[in-house]
Structures are given as structure tokens and as C-alpha cells.
Amino acid sequence: MKNVGQTIFAFFEDYLKAQKGLRPGSIRSYRDTLKLFLAYVASSRSRPITRLALPDLSSQRVLDFLNMMEVTRGNQVSTRNQRLAALHTFYRYLALQNPEMLAEAQRVEAIPVKCTAPPQTDYLEHEEIETLFKSLPRLGTLALRDRALFMLLYNTGARVQEVAELRIVDVDLDGPLRARLHGKGDKWRICPLWPETAALLKQLMPDKHGDPSATLFTSRQHKPLTRFGIYKIVKRHTAGLRSRPADKRRRGISPHVFRHSTAVGLLEQGVDVNVIRAWLGHVSLDTTNRYAEITLRGKMAAVATCLPPDTTSKSPHPRTGWREDEQLLKWLGSL
């Protein structure tokens, strides 16, 4: 039987990275879950984490861990379900590598996720997008970078990590205008660029000293922007975009909101949902279909095509009862 350390190492290095080809963000999510779980098991067993054995990873401890997440740590049901999904994947791998743990893995697999309301899909209306770009500064050393960053986020609907890793060699600005994005599952996809986006990106190129492997967006210290740096830029420029009282119930604007905004904008323009799925890099069409349920303009257009009945006008095909049909009554009387 392999020990816990060997199993964990193989799970990350061989299964998640080599076999499944997960991106660093997804691997960090698995890492955080297992770090919390192993620390909880070591604490409950009153032994150092380095002395844990595979039998310590019982299904009962998974149940206790999930309960601790909600009761002690005060996590939401969605967080609990996310941790459980990661543990489901880990225990499937554990059973495959150590058949003697199959029974425990089956019990973990039987732990159901809890029902919870789907997360709110927040997006910006077209008027809000226009207001944002009008408010962006045009002067300053970082004004061009920030404007190009927002234009690229809205143009491509890219994930924040995809934008952070975008290099000069990944964009074609001489035609056809396009960007190659490295997304989840180690998959690449191509997104077309607007001429306005390409023009802004071209202006950024002289600062990269002709190095095609250089990242497109850098910080004030000329270091590659991280996903957290992009998040701070978006928060800073959108802080006053929703200051009205009616918008207090809506959360702050993150880079992912622009991804939702792109999807809704494409849908409202009548773009086929399969094109939107490929545009955003969704694996399942179900993920893309949810945007059809959140756009108000789409619902209003549907209502307009199905008008209510006009109760004040007469029907073009008036209905008369059989008692008013003289020929029918005469025929019935002759029977």
C-alpha cells in the first residue's frame, strides 16, 4: 500500500497535471481542498500530518470535514459542494491506485451535494459599458494599458488568467485580427478582435522591445500582470459605475463580469449559442444556455412577439351558436 504522501504527489503531478492537463488555477483549487482536509484529519487523529496513513482517510472523516466547513468555518453551501467535488475526484483516483480503499471511496462517492440556488450571473448593460469607457483616463503612463485591457476583456470574454498569460506572439494584429487564448483543460481557442482592440494593442507593442514571448500586459514595474493585479485594476476603474441606490444589492464588478457581459451582448445580437460556446471556451452547451435566461432584452423581445388579446375589438371570426343556425334547426326538426 502506498503512503499518503506518495498518493498525494502522484495525484497532483501525474493525474491532474499530466493526464487531465488542468490549468494552474484549477490545480490550486484541488490543493486548497486537500490542504484543509488533511489538516483536519491530522487534528482529529491527534498526530502530525506526516504520520497519516491511508486508513485515516475514511468516509466518516469526509462527512465530519464537510460538517466542519459549514458549522465551524461558516462556509456557504456552494463552498461545501465545491470541496466535495474535489474530494470525489481524489477518492476516485485513490480507489484506482489502492483497490483496498475502494469501499471507502464508494461511500465518499455516495455523499450527495446539497441543493443551493444557482449563483447570480452579473453582467453590464451596454449603457454601462459605454459609461465605463468614457470615464477611463486618456492621459498617463498606464492609461493606454488599462483601456486596452478593458477593450480586450469585453471583446473576447476571456477569463482573467487567460488575459494575464497572453503574450505578443498570441495576437495577430496585421490580419486576420485575432487572439489565441490558452484556457481550461490546456485547450487553445481563437477569438476575433475588433479593429479598435487591435489598434490599442498595437500601441502597446513598442514597450515590449520586440520580444514575442513577452506578456502583453505589465505592471508599473514592467513585470507581468497577475490575475490579482487585473482584478485590482478593474475594481479601481469600476468603483463608481454602480453608485445608485438601486444597484446596492449587486456585488462589485470583477473581470469575470466582462465575460458574462460579452456572452449576453452576443446573445442579444442574435449570435448562435454554439458560436458563443466556442467563443467563450465552454465545454458544455448547458453552461452557455444559462445566458438565455438572464437577459431582460431577450425576454422583452419574446413578449413583443406574443401580444395579449385585444378584448375591445371584435374577433375576425365571430362564433355563433348552433341555436342561431336556421338551416341546422330546420334539419334537426325534420328528423
93 annotated active-site:
no
Tell me, yes or no, if 80 is annotated catalytic. no
Handedness of CA 297, 299, 302, 306 (dihedral sign): negative
Q: Which of 15, 30, 91, 291 is an active site residue? A: 291
Among 159, 237, 260, 277, the active-site one is: 159
Cell numbers given for 191: 477569438
Burial of 68 from C-beta contacts in 10 A (0-12 / 13-18 / 19+): middle
CA separation for the pair 331, 264 (Å, rounded): 63
Rg of the chain (C-alpha set): 28
Cis-peptide into 309, omega within 30 deg: no
Q: Is 167 helix (H, G, I), strand (E, B) or coil?
A: strand
> Which of 61, 178, 184, 189 does the annotation list as catalytic?
184
Cis peptide before 176 (omega within 30 of 0): yes
Catalytic residue among 23, 80, 145, 259: 259
Given 17, 107, 167, 256, the catalytic residue: 256
Contact 190, 142 (CB under 8 A): no
Cβ burial 186-211 (10 Å sphere, 16+ → b, else e)? eeebebebeeebbebbeebeeebeee
Hunting for cell 488575459 — which residue is that? 163
Look up 15 and say whether it is catalytic. no
184 tagged catalytic: yes
Cβ atoms 84, 33 nearer than 8 A: no
Residue 34, φ and ψ in degrees, nearest 5: -70, -30
Cα–Cα distance, 108 to 110 (Å, whole number): 5
State the catalytic residue, choosing from 145, 237, 277, 282: 282
- Residues with a catalytic annotation lie at 159, 184, 256, 259, 282, 291
